[in-house]
Structure 1
Amino acid sequence: MSVAGAVLREDGRLLAIRRADTGKWELPGGVLELSETPEAGACREIWEETGIHVEVDHLTGVYKNTTRGIVALVFRCKPSGGTARPSSESTAVEWLTAEEIVERMSEVYAIRLTDALDPNSPHVRSHDGRRLTTVK
């Protein structure tokens, strides 16, 4: 299982990383460790990849990659300290607008951040790694 954070600043910008391994823009996150709660794992992953400390607000989505069998939990978070910086897992860390997110990210990652802005969350979605899929 993986966890990720949709970190929303007061000015409406969202935290995003450019992954070191693929060069693609995504939200910060990663694999949940066995001893962690999902919320603690999201906080750890966000800090490791971005240098930003966060407080978790609530779950905004559950996303299943039907090709790889991975389930990702995404939490809306607010920054609580730290300084944005790249890491061994990220080559860039930026605060993006919703429009910039849609331009830079693939559909399956952009939807996670835009879902976090939706007051009707949490959402449950499936994808094949590239595109959202419909429920069968």
Structure 2
Amino acid sequence: MPTPEFILRLRASVGRTPLWLVGATAVVVHEDRLLLVKRADTGEWSPVAGIVEPGEHSADTAEREVWEEARVHAVVERLAAVGVTREYEYPNGDRTRFTDHTYRLRYVSGTPEVGDDESTDAGWFPIDDLPEIPERYLARIRRALAPGTETLLVRDAEA
């Protein structure tokens, strides 16, 4: 998985020290289906997610990542939740946590396909018949599908 250049520059200065980063999760809805990608790093199905680049709005990140990872155009409808993830430790020893912004997006166009090396598959799945998905991603999906327009503030470590 490619590490963004700005993180490589930070790592050159701070080493393996835990980084606090901003992330965006994109729950893309089209009729009664969700867009999911199969992550190349873990083999898990999940909504599209990515790291916010310096100076980028997290809503723009969500839309950009959907295009880059799944070749689908989608637009943000609302911010569904803001939370903090658990700390991740990568095989090289780098550690990080994310402030995650989970967005609900509306499909505009495109046929799901693998767009980069961050995923091995992409497709639409019926909301009531999803493949096996880790609970942390299911929780984000539930928040994005919840009725209403309020943004949930998630205070557990599995945002």
2:107 equivalent to 1:79: yes
Q: What is the CA distance between 1:4 and its match in structure 2?
A: 1.6
- Tell me what 1:8 maps to: 29
By how many angstroms is 1:83 displaced?
Answer: 2.0
Structure with bigger gyration radius: 2
Superimposed CA distance per residue, residues 71-110 of structure 1 (whole angstroms, 9 cap, x where no aligned partner): 1101110111122101311111121223333x51111101
CA distance in 2, matches of 1:32, 1:85: 22
**How far apart in 2 are the matches of 1:97 and 1:37?**
29
How far 1:29 sits from its partner (Å)? 1.4
TM-score (norm 1): 0.84
Please, what is the CA RMSD of the aligned residues? 1.8
Aligned-residue sequence identity (percent) comes to: 29
Q: Corresponding residue for 1:94? A: 123
Where do 1:15-34 residues align within 5 Å?
A: 15-34=35-54
Aligned pairs for 1:1-136 within 5 A: 1-10=22-31, 12-67=32-87, 68-86=96-114, 87-101=116-130, 103-120=131-148, 121-128=150-157
* Offset of residue 64 of structure 1: 1.0
Unaligned runs of 5+ in 2: 1-21, 88-95
Counterpart residue identity of residue 147, structure 2: P
Q: How many residues were matched structurally?
A: 128
> In 2, are the aligned partners of 1:98 and 1:114 still within 8 Å (CA)?
no
Are the structure 2 counterparts of residues 32 and 119 from structure 1 closer, same or farther at C-alpha, using a change threshold of 3 Å? same
Looking at structure 2, the residues matched to 64 and 14 of structure 1 have their Cα atoms a distance apart, in angstroms, of 23
- Distance in 2, matches of 1:125 and 1:100, equals 25
List runs of 5+ in structure 1 lacking aligned partners: none
